[in-house]
Structure 1
């Protein structure tokens, strides 16, 4: 599989972009005309740099508004083309992207378009250049790849073919299966992009909201399958216009982009039953092994765990780390970080084969995490998620592996629970990359995203989860101008009311919930007064749907984290989403616990 990426996907100057593309492992690049125009380096210097970096210049793009014009405009378009051919020869590029006309087209006649493209191809052939004609989704007369292909057939030039762009095809809802009717040798180039399902004009959608494969709603696996079955043998190239990616670190974004192509190629091979160039299958998480908080002052968090009913299991024999547990929920407190507020630092996952899972993650370009391990200690391999959260794999029972490294703990208390979900807040620049990370590295599926009203604007929530709900990771994104929300771990128990009563008796502070919330509960659900009194007394929140009930409470925020205790009744499978605005407002009002 040869890979390429358009320079328009990345931030920075052209030289920075090329270095980042090479570092990420791309084989080639599409050089955007605007990037070259803005560069101080000559086309010859850019060509030499690509040679040194091991990059091929696979496409020069775009050449706009050429066909379907009057003769005077056509003559001027040929003049423009000759000038660009000169640049391409200096650059060492042999294929140019010609987009269907969106601005100057006045003649909606395929024969005219074919004649004009044919003459352009003849001029290009004298230079050894190929023309890849692409139907833009907002083209004046040509906005369908099948229409573009008919014109290419009519023109009948050996150096004139088509460029297929997944966005232009899938955003218009066109059936991609007809791609297989195009001879593979006439598909001169392939551009790939994902996108969220949005109801807006297609031009704005394209220019601002494209995503890398695996991050949006398009079925790129099926799309790529059609292209490959047609016999396409060129590079898989990314063309992603996205405001976030053009502001973030160029090296990291290039690595993120390359990971998306590896994921897409693997998914396509799996769907088609091809056995070559396959990654190992994503290891299905069997359980949450542990969660880890780190920070300089973890005392308030440790006090919360104790009052909720967790058991102190001891101190690690070689690290400044303590372990608390409640049944299958294991919480590690790591005081190694200095001058940092408490934060959620790591997630441990149980799988059948930890080495295989870690190898897969590293094959996808996830950066490996190294943690000092002494002789006789469990060596858990890990990688870092986009926001720095570390993900560890273990294929041994925790109690007979790494838990044995902790000494001095007390007897198990009554609270028993499992990790229900781990809520990870994402900086605005990490959100889309995080979706790809958790789907590709951990094999989690993305549920439909929701928007939650908060005091600082809408918070976008995207749940990533296993089918059986063993691992659930809601990803939260606040508006760019708002602070990153606190992260939390939710522990599921059998009787949250009893847990709340006992925790209250031990002196646990709960996140206070306003009385108005309970008045609203009475109106929405018609709860009996005694049930409502219990909820109000213990600051418990409640939700119900056709499948069951959900009761939960929150601790105050400590640094950048807090805890949630939940009980699911019946087959309720949500997260109490109607209560999220109340929780966000209460947290803003009550601040954080610092000591």
Structure 2
């Protein structure tokens, strides 16, 4: 397999502002071959039809699949299966498992086999007990193996995860789960945004940023089994000036600065003219060249610009995303 460019549906504009048909058409027009679908997109398609029941969501999934087929887009996965692992309220855990059964039906309709699970960032009723986290992940992996065809899970370390916030901690879970259908998604933002960047700092960086990132990506290349990397995400972000502390427009009391930053200020690669400053290309080089990953490369973006009602947003985001991919491909000789 070679490299296949994809984009996240949310990267093309918020589900409640820009329609799925428009977003998918603009992604296809730009030259993307695949797309990540967000569960939130399905909910809004279902709401448009006045039916958000499980049956309504399955109908929405069928509609989205037909739209993707018409636009020549492969659905590479469904995300994010939020707030799952380590819950101390086991009744809530059981409710998540019931929800997962609906997700299995959706991915079968989509013709994909990947569900992405971001690391849990709840701050209450969640445990960092590694044995519990691994137990929970083994449970979903084993359920996925029983599906026909089997469903894979891509675990992603979120830079503001409550307990699992680095690729190293994520990889420890993947190793201990030890199932063929349980792997990971590597994201340049969540790697560099945790070990190298600090949006609440006046420098925009952690104290020993450059050396720490260098050592981290060297370990990544030496440690991760590339067969367990199910797809990757490439993205950058704005430097916060002033720092994202109390009084900043993006500041939310009780919310981690990296989370507020991520939701408002991500950028595509090479957008230094818009304030991008992460060493995302260095991380991308480690994943795509040194580790030797080949497969789906997704341009995943969250930004305040996605909520702009301007009808040109899906087009402009799609063009920005494919420009970033083409420049990365050229720079790394992919």
TM-score for the superposition, normalised by structure 1: 0.44
Secondary structure of 2:326's counterpart equals helix
Residue 72 of structure 1 and its aligned partner are, at CA, apart by 2.4
Q: Which residue of 2 aligns with 1:117?
A: 137
Q: Which protein is bigger by CA-based radius of gyration? A: 1
Q: Which residue of 2 aligns with 1:406?
A: none
Residue 100 of structure 1 and its aligned partner are, at CA, apart by 0.8
Could you report, residue by residue, the CA deviation over 1:62-93 in whole angstroms, capped at 9, with x for unpaired residues? 00011112332322221111121112212222
Partners of 1:93 and 1:35 in 2: CA distance? 16
Aligned counterpart in structure 2 of residue 211 of structure 1, from 267, 287, 291: 267
* Structure 2 residue 82 is matched with structure 1 residue 49: no
Aligned counterpart in structure 2 of residue 157 of structure 1, from 162, 179, 184: 179
Change (3 A) 1:105 1:56: farther
Q: Would the aligned equivalents of 1:114 and 1:154 in 2 still touch at CA under 8 Å?
A: yes
Aligned counterpart in structure 2 of residue 195 of structure 1, from 215, 223, 237: 237
* Structure 2 residue 4 is matched with structure 1 residue 2: yes
Residue 220 of structure 1 and its aligned partner are, at CA, apart by 2.1
Q: Would the aligned equivalents of 2:31 and 2:322 in 1 still touch at CA under 8 Å?
A: yes
Q: Would the aligned equivalents of 1:59 and 1:97 in 2 still touch at CA under 8 Å?
A: yes
* Structure 2 residue 334 is matched with structure 1 residue 261: no
Secondary structure of 1:63's counterpart equals coil
Q: Which residue of 2 aligns with 1:335?
A: none
Change (3 A) 1:206 1:100: same
Secondary structure of 1:163's counterpart equals strand
Q: Would the aligned equivalents of 2:189 and 2:280 in 1 still touch at CA under 8 Å?
A: no
In structure 1, stretches of 5+ residues that fail to align are 270-276, 278-595
Q: Would the aligned equivalents of 1:195 and 1:210 in 2 still touch at CA under 8 Å?
A: yes
In structure 2, stretches of 5+ residues that fail to align are 49-58, 197-212, 245-256
Q: Which residue of 2 aligns with 1:135?
A: 157
Change (3 A) 1:80 1:267: same
Partners of 1:176 and 1:197 in 2: CA distance? 21
Q: Would the aligned equivalents of 2:77 and 2:107 in 1 still touch at CA under 8 Å?
A: no
Q: Would the aligned equivalents of 1:105 and 1:140 in 2 still touch at CA under 8 Å?
A: no
* Structure 2 residue 284 is matched with structure 1 residue 224: yes
Relative contact order, CA 8 A, sep 6+: which one is greater?
2
Partners of 2:237 and 2:26 in 1: CA distance? 23
More helix by share: 2
Secondary structure of 2:68's counterpart equals helix
Could you report, residue by residue, the CA deviation over 1:193-239 in whole angstroms, capped at 9, with x for unpaired residues? 11122232111110000001001111222111111221321211011
Residue 253 of structure 1 and its aligned partner are, at CA, apart by 2.1
Q: Would the aligned equivalents of 1:5 and 1:30 in 2 still touch at CA under 8 Å?
A: yes
Partners of 1:246 and 1:261 in 2: CA distance? 23
Secondary structure of 1:16's counterpart equals helix
Q: Which residue of 2 aligns with 1:64?
A: 82
Change (3 A) 1:105 1:6: farther
Change (3 A) 1:94 1:43: same
Secondary structure of 1:3's counterpart equals strand
Partners of 1:242 and 1:107 in 2: CA distance? 30
More strand by share: 1
Q: Would the aligned equivalents of 1:105 and 1:141 in 2 still touch at CA under 8 Å?
A: no
Q: Would the aligned equivalents of 2:184 and 2:229 in 1 still touch at CA under 8 Å?
A: yes
Secondary structure of 2:263's counterpart equals helix
Could you report, residue by residue, the CA deviation over 1:123-153 in whole angstroms, capped at 9, with x for unpaired residues? 1122221100011111111111110110110
Aligned Cα root-mean-square deviation (Å): 1.6
Q: Would the aligned equivalents of 1:14 and 1:36 in 2 still touch at CA under 8 Å?
A: no
Partners of 1:161 and 1:129 in 2: CA distance? 11
Partners of 2:108 and 2:25 in 1: CA distance? 22
Residue 245 of structure 1 and its aligned partner are, at CA, apart by 4.2
Aligned counterpart in structure 2 of residue 13 of structure 1, from 15, 19, 33: 19
Could you report, residue by residue, the CA deviation over 1:97-133 in whole angstroms, capped at 9, with x for unpaired residues? 1011112552211121111101101111222211000
Q: How does 1:94-109 map to 2 (within 5 A)?
A: 94-103=113-122, 106-109=126-129
Q: Which residue of 1 aligns with 2:55?
A: none
Secondary structure of 2:305's counterpart equals coil
* Structure 2 residue 92 is matched with structure 1 residue 73: yes
Partners of 1:105 and 1:185 in 2: CA distance? 33
Q: Would the aligned equivalents of 1:59 and 1:95 in 2 still touch at CA under 8 Å?
A: yes
Partners of 1:32 and 1:177 in 2: CA distance? 32
Q: Would the aligned equivalents of 2:233 and 2:298 in 1 still touch at CA under 8 Å?
A: yes
